[in-house]
């Protein structure tokens, strides 16, 4: 079988994770890369010695040995790169989150949804972490219908990126977009409902306070709370702390209904686990019926090869296995542009609420509509 040939746009930290996981797929190869930074090019060549480097997206798209594209560039470049790709070709795309960072680009996503002839998959790796996938399978039975959903991430600060782009709201979209669109996506996925109201409190307490680049001080937030009301009547909350490096578990998700509670505990990337603490913890689920008969603990194993290939508990590999089938025409994308846009709009609403101290309402919208008319409006 002829290998599926990938063109990479960006091969920084996340781009290299994509490359390592594509290499684990059957009948797949990375053939060409666009990456302006010399250090990142060298790191990518170590992973794929015979890869070709192109100077621009345009020359990459003119190659005859590229079947699909992976966009793993800095956040603020995604919208323009999608626009440039759509003006030249219609190759299948896996685009890293967040889909956009500027509300003005929402119209672009509407247009691509309606007119781009090839599938576009938005990379939401957290969906495919084995412990979270197990939670998704069991949550309805365990809860009898979710009334409250809580997602907590306690972790280390933002890592250094090329050009320090992730130190600034203007380029990252802001912490509640850049980091937390994953969690807003999970809220919609777990609750099977759409958000209608967001209120948040967030800020910068500990990280990057004294960092100045090109005479500009870093302004990204490092902690916050976000509460979201959903059309179904369920309520969800996000708790984020990015100065909690010593946490045993990086993500903790709990869903509670009238029948009981289910918890999902996810350790952070193994390469950041302090060696002096012994073995890193294993992911697990805890299922607790409302009327006590004893909680059930389920330990979730993750292939060590996949743990070495990335920082998402094997999720990037499972995501790529599904994307590969989409490129081959066997399935539609599981994470649509609408999903990616909705997660970003929730993050933007949370940023707005935290800045203004006001509740932000999200207009009702048809989750199956090709054109997304979701708009934010301040509630007095």
Residue 290 falls within a domain, yes or no? yes
Query: Does 380 map to a domain?
Result: no
Note whether 17 and 68 are same-domain residues: yes
Of 155, 100, 148, 146, nearest to 126 by C-alpha is 155
* Closest to 8 (Cα-Cα) out of 39, 26, 45, 34: 34
Please write the tens of the pLDDT for every residue from 291-337. 877 889 999 999 999 999 999 999 999 999 999 999 999 999 999 99
360: β partners = 198, 378
Q: Is 329 within the bounds of a domain? A: no
In a domain, 285, yes or no: yes
For residues 18-35, give the mean pLDDT. Answer: 97
- Which positions ≥6 away from 4 have C-beta within 8 Å? 25, 27, 28, 29, 67, 68, 324, 327, 328
CA dist., res. 282 & res. 294, Å (int) = 21
Number of structural domains in the chain: 2
Mean model confidence pLDDT for the chain:
93
Question: Would residue 242 count as lying in a domain?
Answer: yes
> Is residue 215 one of the residues assigned to a domain?
yes
Q: Which of 125, 150, 183 is the last residue of a domain?
A: 125
pLDDT at 371 > cutoff 80: no
- Token duo for residue 58: 């345009």
Let me know if residue 323 belongs to a domain.
no
Chain segment 194-245, per-residue pLDDT in tens: 999 999 999 999 999 999 999 999 999 999 999 999 999 999 999 999 999 8
CATH number of 23's domain: 3.40.50.720
**90 and 206 belong to one structural domain:** no
Does residue 87 share a domain with residue 52?
yes
Answer yes or no: do 59 and 32 share one domain: yes
Q: Provide mean pLDDT across the span 184-203.
A: 98
pLDDT in tens, 37-81: 999 999 999 999 999 999 999 999 999 999 999 999 999 999 999
How many residues belong to the chain? Answer: 380
Quote the CA–CA distance of 27 and 33 in Å, as a whole number. Answer: 18
pLDDT of amino acid 218: 95
Q: Which residue has the higher pLDDT, 369 or 26?
A: 26
My answer on whether 235 and 199 are in the same domain is yes
116 and 142 share a domain? no
pLDDT at 378: 37
Instruction: Using the 3D structure, point to which of 101, 125, 149 is the last residue of a domain.
Output: 125
pLDDT digits (tens, 9 = 90+) for 80-125: 999 999 999 999 999 999 999 999 999 999 999 999 999 999 999 9
Q: Is residue 319 part of a domain?
A: no
Name the more confident of 248 and 128.
128
In the chain, the percentage of residues whose pLDDT exceeds 70 is: 95
For residue 139, the enclosing domain spans 127-311+335-362
On whether both 342 and 223 belong to a single domain, the answer is yes
Same domain, 40 and 118: yes
State whether 36 and 176 are in the same domain.
no
Q: What is the pTM of this model?
A: 0.93
- Regarding whether 96 and 150 lie in a shared domain, the answer is no
Question: Which CATH number covers residue 214?
Answer: 3.30.360.10
The reply to whether 116 and 236 lie within a common domain is no
Higher pLDDT among residues 201 and 246, named by residue: 201
Phi, psi for residue 226 in degrees, rounded to 5: -135, 130
Tell me, yes or no, whether 116 and 164 share the same domain: no
Stretch (H or E) spanning 19: helix 13-22
Cis, peptide link before residue 9, omega less than 30° from 0 = no
pLDDT at 379: 38
267 or 277, greater pLDDT:
267
Domain boundary among 86, 106, 125: 125
């Amino acid at each position: 079988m002829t290998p599926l040939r990938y063109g990479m746009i960006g091969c920084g930290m996340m781009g290299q994770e994509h490359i390592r996981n594509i290499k684990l797929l059957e009948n797949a190869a990375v053939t060409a890369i666009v990456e302006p930074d010399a250090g990142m090019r060298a790191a990518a060549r170590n992973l794929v010695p015979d890869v070709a480097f192109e100077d621009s997206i345009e020359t990459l798209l003119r190659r005859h040995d590229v079947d699909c594209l992976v966009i793993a560039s800095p956040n603020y470049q995604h919208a323009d790169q999608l626009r440039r790709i759509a003006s030249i070709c219609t190759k299948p795309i896996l685009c890293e989150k967040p889909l956009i960072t500027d509300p003005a680009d929402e119209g672009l996503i509407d247009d691509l949804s309606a007119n781009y002839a090839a599938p576009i998959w938005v990379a939401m790796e957290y969906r495919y972490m084995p412990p979270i996938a197990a939670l998704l399978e069991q949550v309805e039975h365990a809860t009898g219908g979710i009334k409250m959903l809580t997602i907590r991430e306690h972790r280390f600060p933002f890592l250094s990126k090329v050009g320090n782009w992730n130190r600034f709201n203007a380029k990252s979209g802001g912490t509640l977009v850049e980091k937390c669109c994953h969690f807003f996506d999970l809220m919609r996925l777990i609750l099977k409902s759409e958000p209608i109201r967001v209120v948040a409190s967030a800020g910068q307490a500990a990280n990057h306070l004294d960092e100045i680049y090109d005479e500009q001080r870093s302004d990204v937030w490092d902690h916050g709370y976000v509460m979201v009301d959903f059309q179904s009547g369920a309520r969800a909350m996000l708790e984020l702390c990015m100065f909690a490096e010593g946490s045993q578990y990086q993500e903790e998700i709990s869903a509670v209904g009238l029948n009981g509670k289910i918890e999902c505990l996810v350790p952070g990337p193994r390469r950041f686990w302090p060696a002096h603490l012994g073995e890193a913890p294993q992911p697990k689920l805890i299922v607790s019926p409302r009327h006590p008969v004893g909680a059930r603990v389920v330990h979730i194993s993750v292939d060590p090869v996949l743990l070495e290939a990335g920082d998402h508990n094997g999720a990037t590999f499972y995501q790529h296995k599904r994307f590969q089938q989409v490129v081959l025409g066997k399935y539609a994308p599981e994470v649509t542009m609408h999903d990616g846009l909705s997660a970003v709009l929730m993050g933007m609403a949370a940023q707005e609420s935290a800045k203004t101290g006001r509740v932000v309402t999200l207009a009702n919208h048809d989750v199956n509509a090709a054109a997304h008319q979701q708009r934010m409006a301040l509630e007095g």
